[in-house]
Structure 1
Amino acid sequence: MACLSLITMTLNFPTQVFGNIFIHIFEKFGDLKAFVSATSEEFYTFRDIKEASLRLAKELKKYFQDGGEEVSTVAIILPNCIEYPIIVHAAMAIGIPICSLRHDFQTDMLLNMLKDVNPKVLITDSTLLKTSKRIFEELPELKVLVKGPKGSESFGTNLHSLLFSNEDAMDIEDAKSVDPESLAFVSFSSGTTGRPKAIMISHRSMVNNVINTMQNPFSPLRSFQDGQQEKLLGNLPFAHMYCSGLYFYNGLMTGCCIYVIDFADAAELVMLTSKFKLTAVTIRPYMIEAVLKEENIKERLKTARVMEHSEVSAVILTPVNQERVGSTGKLIPNVKAKIIDVNSGKPILKPFQEGELLIKSPSLMKGYLNNPEATKEAVEDGWYKTGDIVYYDEDKYFYVVERFKDLINFRGKKVSPSNVENIVKKHPSVQDVGVIGVSGEATDGEVPRAFVVVKNSVSEQELIDFVKTNTSEEELWLRGGVQFLNSLPRTHLGKIQRKYLRDMGWTGSSSFKS
């Protein structure tokens, strides 16, 4: 089948495992600051991270001696902190798979995820011990390492006492010889369309991804040159795969200094950029408007490049230049793509035609842990079905339109909710909007219904009429009506959780008449 291929160079990937590569990176940058707390200004150098990682690796190795075929992991449930990269690189050095989970998830979700990934060791803080006791009651065999000052843990071993003890660290030569195809990470999908799935990522995939993103010309981070160290704000959640890749791997490989904070709103982001003279900051799309409203924003952000955080993985696409507003970027080296028409299943070969994106890459996941059916559904003949509806322009820059599962099936035609949302957002009284498909008349199939957060008073009929006035495309009309909400349900990554909109009981036929 025809596909797009934008390979500008073929990269030769090393056979070294991930942990071994970084031991040498830590030696290279030595006493430079690597991770700094943006609140306390406590910091670790590259040398500190190397020594503490090898010391912790020696301890972790004790709990993974029995082997066996079943996947066992080190689970991390922590807010962003400067100890995080030490934990990750300790596990990587000896080939133990890591599963990082958001510390602000509900107990039930955390418990389900932990049971999926079978951790032998959990590294957390005293907050989780207080708020999620059921985790430890239902998983009594867990070895728990607790981050915090001595005496703060109610049970378990103090993490800092291991990281900075007087005991000898593991010798570099003793690092386990790891099969490049073995698991490095187990990361969960966002769960916007159902229960999150555990994604298996190999050492080879991680190495390929890092080298790919480091060698492409659009890499968001600059290499350490002429004594100039990149300073990046580590404000996005370390538990997310994109963020750990940016901060722990690409950042460290370039000799970057990461200023760590668990969360930064628009005002704090601008303040920290000015205070530490940051050279790069990462920002989610939904925060852009708030940042731009900050006073004297051009003057206060003049030292830093702003990088939009997109949910399309760097495994596939690279950040775009500023001239391509709305684009997610181009394919990076060694990645192939094809776009499939959602109705016919045939490949699309022309620019500006929308379809589902399929990719083939040496950095793809191994599959979903203990879920062969989901793996088979997601990957066919080596092509990963992203579920993203995209198009590309004449210069092969990609634009993400929608998720495939969110499309509205109106009279046999697939309708993008975002196309409806873009019209509704133009109304001066609308602050936020999410659109889903609901049951319409028998001949219609599904019709759009808008869930709206307003700034000023406006009626349902006004919004229905507004959409009709602003488009002649009948499939975009709000035949499913309007529901007003105080806020839209969103994931921790800022995505609209359309499944919760569907669960609100709005599944009956609409009384709206065109």
Structure 2
Amino acid sequence: MNITQHIERGCHLFPDKPALIFEGTTFTYAELDRLANRVANGLRELGVHRSDRIALFLPNIPEFIISYLGILKLGAIAVSLNAMLKSSEVKFILDDCGAKAVVTTADLVKNIPQQDLPQLKHVLIAEGTATEGTSLAELMANASPSARGIEMDRYAPAAIVYTSGTTGFPKGATLSHGNLISNSYSQQHCCGMQAEDRILLYLPLFHCFGQNAVLNAGLNACATLVLHRNFDLTKILKSVTDEQITMFFGVPSVFLVLLNMDLPKDQLKSVRFFFSGAAPLPTEVAQKWYDKYGLVVHQGYGLTETSPCASYNHDYIYKPGSVGTAIENVEMKIVNNGKEVEPGEIGEIAIRGPNVMLGYWNRPFETAEAIKNGWFYSGDIGRMDEDGFFYIVDRSKDMINVAGFKVYPTEVENVIYEHPAVAEVAVYGVPDLEKSEIVKANIILKPDCNVTEKQMIAFCAERMAAYKMPKTIKFVDSIPKNPTGKVLKRVLRDEAANEAALKKGNAAVGAIAKPIPLVATTSVPSNDTSGGGVLKSLGNIFKRRN
């Protein structure tokens, strides 16, 4: 097997059918397959072999998809990097996976410290003028357009998607060809994807949601993918109409923005299916959407480690607030202290099936901690009702969910500790209507040191991706800890919630007899440096195409 058999099947069955549309350019299934073949053959000429890691440090452009398919046809492993990462973050991942080559752009190549990566042999520039490295277009022009995906074992690694680790260092979730193929078929079946569908794809391709749940599933269905470089609301709405989009995948903040715009009911009339993932969709948002458009926003649950789909709130019985039941061939259960609990009881969500990753790349200890007897322990807290429907209650490990992107406090704390004025820091998440959560930091400064919030945020901006940066910083004299010295993040979250409630109450008192605005902001301000996870990355991180 090979996951790229989906593009080869599309080429055979629908050679002239549009597979990909991007900024006015259409690629048929035959054209997309030939371009992927050129990448595979070009990489082979560079000395890339089966199991070599090839990194994709790219925004949402066709070259991401073409390179991804070419890498996998060759039997190499595609390693996706968030296009917002800074130099030190890029170095860690490329060094950790031992990348032999990286495909990037002229704008992003400056964030690749080539001199510190002796194993990195080739830098391929996919967009912009290649002042350093090799032009991907030239490599492809000199390569044959004929190739077939080589046969791989179902357990052979296909992709590595990095997710933050509890130690503050990213971990590479290693997904096999079997993982990707199984999950593609399951997603296609659950969502009812058909060859006639036209699927909007603005979610970042470096994210497991966009890469597997939309891209691979869409190609598996021989559907047409309408790719957007970013989340530009005006262009997205125009695309829905002009391209007659039938399937719309998004994150909760996108649906909230669309609701707040008070669009005409017929604005989205071509769309037959809506799906929200990457973060919990508030029940009130789901209800308002149904009340307005008469269609549910389908939801599911999954993680990068589960390829990503694990459950789906399906058509037969749709339960508001639930993430549904386990998808086909997958089992889910709620456990407490290693034992399965009764329906209604709260515990950790565990998952077993063909969607569960092989493990974390070069992390045997973390893999053994996460996967036990075939069951992946998610670290997410939930419950299951009598009908087998699952509900997310909370998350453990103090992970912060910034619009679908995982941010672990330790990773941010490690950066802030690099500042010479910082004595102690605690990073935690606080609720946010638009982004699910935002990052907040409590900092104790060293004696006689004086740093402003603005200066500290600027310090962070130079060293980490925007979505990881603290939105607010609070300078404090002490940080709550338990008797063993462990920081009580729960107490910090509660304090932040109380402060927010107090501010809200004061604002309500001051607003008596004043009209209450019913429509919230519909776009992210251009000067907002807070990051914003999936949504922010869609709108602000990618440069215009040269």
- TM-score category (smaller protein): 0.7 to 0.9
Q: Which residue of 1 aligns with 2:258?
A: 291
Give 1:155's aligned amino acid: E
Instruction: Please say if 1:302 is aligned against 2:297.
Output: no
Separation in structure 2 between the aligned mates of residue 335 and residue 26 of structure 1, nearest angstrom: 30
CA–CA distance in structure 1, aligned partners of residues 309 and 178 of structure 2: 13
1:405 alignment partner, SS class: coil
Report the residue type matching 2:395 in the other structure: R
| Aligned match for 1:251, one of 218, 221, 227 | 218
Aligned to 2:26: 43
- Following superposition, the deviation at residue 203 of structure 1 comes to 1.4
Aligned match for 2:480, one of 439, 442, 446: 439
Q: Aligned ranges for residues 318-397 of structure 1 at < 5 Å?
A: 318-321=312-315, 323-341=318-336, 344-350=337-343, 352-397=344-389
**Distance in 2 (alpha carbons) for counterparts of 1:65 and 1:88:** 14
1:236 matches 2:198: no
Distance 1:491 1:181, change over 3 A: farther
Q: 1:181 aligns with which of 117, 141, 155?
A: 155
Q: Note closer, same or farther for the CA distance 1:166–1:371 as it changes in structure 2 (3 Å cut).
A: closer
SS at match of 1:119: coil
| Residue 452 (structure 1) shift | 5.5
Structure of higher CA gyration radius: 1
- Give the direction of change, closer, same or farther, for the CA distance of 1:288–1:214 in structure 2 (3 Å limit): closer
What's the counterpart of residue 126 of structure 1?
106
> Displacement of 1:103 after TM fit?
1.5
Q: Distance in 2 between matches of 1:36 and 1:319?
A: 29
Partner of 1:53: 36
CA contact (8 A) 1:356 1:386 kept: yes
Q: Deviations over 1:154-198 (max 9, x none)?
A: 1222222333x37532343xx534233221011111457732201
Normalised by the length of structure 2, the TM-score is 0.68
Could you tell me how far apart the structure 2 residues matched to 1:133 and 1:358 are? 37
Give the count of matched residue pairs.
420
Q: Is 2:487 the counterpart of 1:492?
A: no
Identify if the C-alpha distance between structure 1 residues 166 and 98 changes in structure 2 by more than 3 Å, giving closer, same or farther: closer
Cα gap change, 1:166 to 1:110, in 2 (>3 Å): closer
Per-residue displacement from partner, 1:425-465 (whole Å, max 9, x unpaired)? 8xxxxx977799963787999453347599999549969xx
> What's the % identity of the aligned pairs?
22
Taking a change above 3 Å as real, the CA distance of residues 30 and 453 of structure 1, as seen in their structure-2 partners, is farther
The reply to whether residue 214 of structure 1 matches residue 188 of structure 2 is yes
Equivalents in 1 of 2:529, 2:144: separation in Å?
Answer: 52
* CA RMSD, 1 decimal: 3.7
Structure 1 residues 79 and 380, CA, compared in 2 at 3 Å: closer, same or farther?
same
Structure 1: stretches of 5+ with no match in the other structure: 1-15, 408-419, 426-430, 464-485, 496-514
Match of 2:121 among 133, 136, 142: 142
What is the match of residue 468 of structure 2?
A: none
CA contact (8 A) 1:319 1:328 kept: yes
Question: Where does residue 202 of structure 1 map in the other structure?
Answer: 176
Distance 1:436 1:380, change over 3 A: farther
| Unaligned residue ranges in structure 2 (runs of 5+) | 280-300, 303-307, 400-428, 443-478, 508-526, 537-546
Task: Describe the SS at the equivalent of 1:127.
Answer: coil
**TM-score scaled to structure 1, two decimals?**
0.72
1:156 is matched with which residue: 133, 148, 164?
133
Matched, 1:22 2:33: no
Question: Residue by residue, what CA displacement relative to the aligned partner does 1:83-127 show, whole Å, maximum 9, x if unpaired?
Answer: 222111111112111101111211111111111111112111111
Deviation at 1:325, TM superposition (A): 2.0
Check conservation: 2:430, 2:496, Cα contact below 8 A.
Answer: no
State yes or no: 1:77 paired with 2:54.
no
Q: Secondary structure at the match of 1:239?
A: coil
Alpha carbons of structure 1 residues 291 and 66: separation in structure 2 relative to 1, 3 Å: closer
